[in-house]
Structure 1
Amino acid sequence: MKYTVVIVEDHILLSQALSGLVNGFSKFKVLYICKNGKELLTRFKDAKNIPDVVLMDINMPIMNGIETTEALKKEYPKVKVLALSVEEDEHTILKMLRAGAKGYLLKDTEKSILENALVQVQETGFYHTENVTSLLLGSLEPKKEEKKVLLKEREIEFIKHACTEKTYKEIAKDMCLSPKTVEGYRDSIFEKLNLKNRTGLVIYAIKSKLFIP
């Protein structure tokens, strides 16, 4: 039995090319292709159309990948979403991870990486790749010294707030602190955990189970 995949991509040539690639993987087969999230959710009304994994684009008309992933997380939580996008900015990656995506790949990724990502997402639940960009994600695998770091209660509280879409000013208000104090928490935590940015912090929080997307 092969794992089933549905491709959600509004560019027809690309979706057909992806379908050919995935069908060439030993453990996977493509059930069908959709042009946007709305079409996908319509197809899901028939239980036979619900796959193991959805390979999801982000920028699509009618219903984009982030909106669709949020809907799947709520209505079909067992379906795993692997994002495949040209978008590599921190804000988009954060939103997709929070929406429930189990992995994030850029469209210029190699065939072998795509296959491995599908396997890992299906069999282990998550896939994080250094190829997304080291600049954005920093270190994806917690180092030994990171695992031994003891975080204070207020630092953990800050991390949980940082995994939302709140600005640092809004976090400061919710924590009844000054913006400068919150920035101090941020800088201290980044240094403790050897992280470069907020995206890396979100991934650390997910891996450490401080935040569940």
Structure 2
Amino acid sequence: MESNYAGIVRNNIEALYRRLPADLAQRTGAKKDAGGKVFTLDAFGKSCRISAGGIFLDDEPQTDVLGILISLYALNAIPEEMVIEPWKAFKAFPDVMPYVGAFTSHTEQILIAYEDKIKKNRTGIVSTLNGDPDHGSDGGDYSFMVRPLPKIALCYIVYEADEDFPASVTCLYSSNANHFLPNDALADVGEYTSKRILELLRVRATIN
């Protein structure tokens, strides 16, 4: 039996291909094949393929949340360039308050216990997640930029623990990230990017 997630991915793909935008490659930052019906891009640090047959990451079909997020990105992205700065807190986007609590716990707080591992491995994290080592923030003890989708970038700002304060992690979005996804999916991009970071560190996320 098809799962609810798989059904959503299928419905999104069917909606996309019923009226396939001629400029979908430009909208998503993807490359299209010679026939103009298959699109490839980097997503969450993996090779992604969008076709009428579904969403694939490293040739594995995506019938879960990542499939939903990527299909929504294809449906919602507009022909506009990504504007990275000024970085924006998730709560600074319009109408996101219902999602702020979950975003904080699922995107930022799950990384705090691993900030030392993140610091040691951030070069590899940035490389895998298509980031830019020179495009972080001046804040924190260190920061780094990753790009889970071609037109959505995230900046993680990390404060290390000291004798006065515990460690903390803040995740900011590229300035116009909300032009490419609805708010709930935008929050999920943060969550699943953080989970991907933990996957790269080979640790299990714990959400209270």
Shorter-chain TM-score tier? under 0.3
Q: TM-score, normalised by structure 2?
A: 0.25
Larger relative strand fraction: 2
Question: Which protein has the bigger helix share?
Answer: 1
Bigger RCO of structures 1 and 2 (CA < 8 A, at least 6 apart):
2
- Structure number with larger C-alpha Rg: 1
